[in-house]
Amino acid sequence: MKCTYKIGENEFEGYLKGKMWRGKMSSANGDTAEVIVKDNCVWSWNSADKLKQGAKICYEEKDQTGETKDAWEESGVDSPDIKYSCLPAAISDDKFEPPADINFIDLNKFNPAQFNTNQ
């Protein structure tokens, strides 16, 4: 499935296949931020990063029982009037592969103590 929507000057595009998701946000100034979610991991990066770096973090899948909330309610943002356009699409699994030219920092291995300047 491919979905698109717009909030203000920002345009959003998302792809969903099974348990995989890829999203892209394009701002009015031409920057794009992208995210891939698959295999209990999230990769994110921004086109404006000249160093070609991004972040990766993995998580344990939890039981999602209990009360569900609207995504806008969960975010604490007032729900804008959004018009989604979602259509079935034939999407290759390649769409959900993190780009090879981006150096992803593994946040699960990140040690903030190495940046402690109070020593």
Q: Helices marked H in 1-119 — which ranges?
A: 71-75
Q: Residue 77: pLDDT above 70?
A: no
What average pLDDT score do residues 59-73 get? 59
Q: Residue 63: pLDDT above 60?
A: no
- pLDDT at residue number 13: 95
Q: Alpha-carbon distance 46 to 32, whole Å?
A: 6
What average pLDDT score do residues 15-31 get? 93
**Picking from 9-18, 45-54, 61-70, 95-104, which range would have the lowest pLDDT averaged per residue?**
61-70
What phi, psi does 112 have (nearest 5°)? Answer: -60, -25
Tokens of 105: 């920092």
